[in-house]
């Protein structure tokens, strides 16, 4: 009776299925337990490495099993040669995929550590992945015996034609790189463009930058070249705290000293009690002009960030109006005198 395992096709089946089975066991038993352990540690690099290797042990061990299976018995050399090339591409491609994941994760992690909770823009992450992917493609071609020198030369010549055809796209790409390197506009910054668009910078991509408007939360897409050439006011960088200016007018009959005392008192209370106010910073009150119906002045309050200015402004106006009413301070209505000339003689 012939032993089943002595048959070449049975040995190939055992090697192939054995490699896949071993890969599944390592992936879903060993690696999964290590991942759960790594999530409980403060060290983040182990989480990144395990995330980059997700699903790849099964691919590598499955390819190894198929490689051993192809070395059993006699097979068509052309068939085995083709399969060996496919297994080489799959194995190296899996390693390149792990490198791309690792490169993108490293960029995000390093940018987060350098800038608090701010992640790196998608453009930077994609460029890091692209660099690893291109390098991996050259390694695969070399392992397949393909000469890459002529390919690089052809790509260089073809790149000139592509650059001419994609001037706008490449212009936005390099503008995006310039925006990121200059670090004048970053993710989660509140900006206002000279064209009028304003909001929180959501992401910087290859062609455009997305801005989330406040408070409705809609997304505005701005081409990177437009953003790079615009006058941009950044309300978050270099300092998140900003001054809120509120214009007020009182009657000409008012005691200006009393008005100043009452106004600054209300402003201090608002900064101390309303969330978002900087209570350590004294409010500033400056008389500005003799208006047409009132003496006009400005009150400046310092808030922690852009989102805080709305609640602080709202509460200050409400409390100031109430306090002026109790103190007998008049906020006059605009008055305009109109002189009507007589009708011309008929």
Q: Which fold has domain 169-234?
A: SH3 type barrels. (2.30.30)
CA distances (Å), origin 329, targets 28, 114, 270, 325: 75, 51, 19, 6
Q: What per-residue confidence (pLDDT) applies to 324?
A: 94
Q: What per-residue confidence (pLDDT) applies to 298?
A: 95
Please tell me whether the overall predicted TM-score, pTM, comes out greater than 0.75 for this model.
no
Average pLDDT of adjacent 10-residue blocks, the chain of 346 residues: 57 73 77 70 72 79 78 72 82 86 78 53 76 83 73 62 60 75 78 84 83 83 84 83 92 92 94 90 93 92 89 94 92 73 60
Boundaries of every domain in the chain: 4-165, 169-234, 242-327
**CATH architecture group of domain 242-327:** 2-Layer Sandwich (3.30)
Q: What per-residue confidence (pLDDT) applies to 64?
A: 80
Helical pair 148-165 and 167-182, crossing angle rounded to 10 deg: 100
Q: What per-residue confidence (pLDDT) applies to 246?
A: 94
CA distances (Å), origin 277, targets 236, 299, 300, 305, 306: 16, 14, 12, 9, 11
């Amino acid at each position: 009776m012939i032993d089943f395992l002595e048959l070449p096709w049975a040995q190939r089946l055992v090697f192939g299925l054995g490699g896949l089975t071993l890969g599944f066991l390592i992936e879903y038993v060993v690696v999964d337990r290590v991942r759960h352990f790594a999530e409980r540690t403060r060290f983040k690099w182990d989480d990144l490495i395990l995330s980059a290797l997700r699903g790849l042990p099964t691919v590598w061990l499955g390819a190894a099993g198929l490689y051993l299976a192809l070395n059993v018995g006699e097979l068509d050399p052309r068939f085995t040669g083709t399969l060996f090339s496919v297994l080489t591409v799959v194995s190296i491609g899996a390693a390149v995929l792990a490198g791309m994941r690792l490169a993108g994760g490293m960029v995000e992690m390093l940018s987060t550590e350098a800038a608090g909770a701010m992640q790196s823009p998608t453009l930077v992450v994609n460029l890091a992945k692209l660099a690893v992917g291109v390098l991996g493609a050259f390694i695969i071609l070399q392992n397949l015996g393909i000469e890459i020198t002529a390919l690089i030369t052809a790509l260089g010549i073809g790149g000139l034609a592509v650059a001419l055809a994609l001037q706008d796209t490449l212009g936005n790409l390099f503008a995006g790189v310039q925006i990121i390197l200059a670090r004048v506009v970053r993710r989660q910054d509140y900006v206002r463009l000279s064209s009028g668009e304003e909001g929180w910078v959501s992401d910087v991509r290859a062609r455009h930058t997305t801005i989330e408007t406040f408070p409705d939360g809609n997304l505005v897409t701005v081409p990177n070249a437009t953003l790079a050439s615009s006058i941009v006011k950044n309300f978050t960088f270099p300092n998140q705290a900003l001054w809120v200016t509120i214009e007020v007018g009182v009657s000409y009959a008012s005691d200006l000293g009393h008005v100043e005392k009452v106004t600054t008192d209300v402003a201090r209370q608002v900064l101390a009690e309303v969330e978002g106010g900087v209570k350590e910073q004294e409010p500033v009150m400056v008389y500005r002009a003799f208006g047409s119906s009132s003496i006009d002045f400005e009150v400046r309050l310092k808030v922690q960030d852009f989102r805080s200015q709305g609640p602080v402004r709202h509460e200050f106006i409400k409390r100031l109006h109430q306090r002026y009413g109790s103190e007998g301070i008049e906020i006059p209505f605009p008055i305009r005198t109109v002189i009507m000339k007589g009708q011309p003689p008929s």
